[in-house]
Chain A
Amino acid sequence: MPITVRIPTPLRTLTGGADEVAIDGSTVSEVIENLEKKHPGIKERLCDEKGNVRRFVNVYANEEDIRFLDNLATKVKEGDSVSIVPAIAGG
């Protein structure tokens, strides 16, 4: 079972409306790269030009904020989940 990536509402236009996508990878970085291959354009929404996660985007590996783990080098394995939570400003 690959890794389940949970896609937030603002990014579902890039995944054909899917709220969950199955992606392979052994680190969060690999997962994002493979996510980009499957759904071009999504990496730019998640990462800046240096390849770091954008400051207003939170990424969780198995509900743990990767900033408190190994950031993009955080290891993941089959059956794990990666969730993306961007900041939203409307009110």
Chain B
Amino acid sequence: MMKTVDLIEEIYWGLSANKVRSFLTILGIVIGIASVIALQAIGAGAKGTIEASIQSVGSNLLFVTPGAQRGVGVSINAGRGSSQTLTNEDAAAIASSINGVKAVVSEKSARYQVKAGGLNTNTSIIGTTSAYPGVRNIQIDTGTFISDQQQQSSQRVAVLGPTAMADLFGSSTTNIIGKTVTIKNMPFIVIGTTVAKGGSGFSNSDDAIYVPLSTAQKFLAGDDFLGTIDVQAEDASQMTNIKNDITSLLLARHKITGTKTADFSVMSQTDILATASSITDTLTSLLAAIAGISLLVGGIGIMNMMLTTVTERTKEIGLRQAIGAEKADISRQFLLEAVTLTFIGGAVGTFIGYLASLIISKFINVAGTITLSSVMLAIGVSAGIGIVFGYYPARRAAKLNPIEALRFE
């Protein structure tokens, strides 16, 4: 049998004899692998970003929201704000009768048009109480947050998130305390601003204006119901117990039997993370499947090229057999030609996929994440494609009868 060094040399000559065709075949694999790598990186990056932004909200948190619970994964937002079942009394009952609760904060949020001077914006107005910054990890930049006294007397005061502030006051960020903003045509006095927290899209605490809960209920929404009750546990290990206790308590208060018909839902940070992860995972596998199809097409391209090559080089195969090539020599040569093409395609494709993920992440503001395992997998898969799609043509070459191969025109 032929030595490996010689085999590699023969493969080099074989492939370089038809450079254009080899290049085009490699290109097919490059596109397949590059799209797998890029989409996988974007998917992993998106997942990381979403998880980080959910976690930035604060740990040890449970969210009680109105609306039916339809199981994890489909309905985090189903009915949120639309059905009105949670009351101030519910929140008070949770605070007073459930063990292990550190803080309870009620929220009443909606989007309104807000004006200040000549500028206006449409932002989220969160009606809440003094415990909110502690529960949600929000730092006060200037001024103060809403006080209990302001909450009790339903004062029209507002605390601005940095994005909302920039939208309303532009670059003039000094002396904002004491200025007036108009929400739903009612004047509110600015009493404070918060520190930028980052995070985008999902629960952006920067693009928001905080007002006292009772103010939001009385002047903005016009009803006494709550949007969300945030419950902070003393300890993460108690989350499940607290969740169950809240559910029983509210079921009893709402006179509902059986959790299936509950008119509220209690979700922990972990539930939301699991939901978000399952969404991004599904998305990532969908993208990977699409990329996988292009890889399959590339593989068929390899097989097509190798079959053409074997037919074209029938006479050469006959000659090699006549001068003493054994079956294994012939099949190894053609199999390795295919694997070489796909391996090069895999390596180049990984590199291009990496570049593509960098470029895409610039546009969609998601950091692409490339792991060593995904690179190894891509190169492994591409070499595997070479073996799978190169096997049949190689076997066909090795099975040629030398006499007929030599006569082939």
Partners in one complex: no
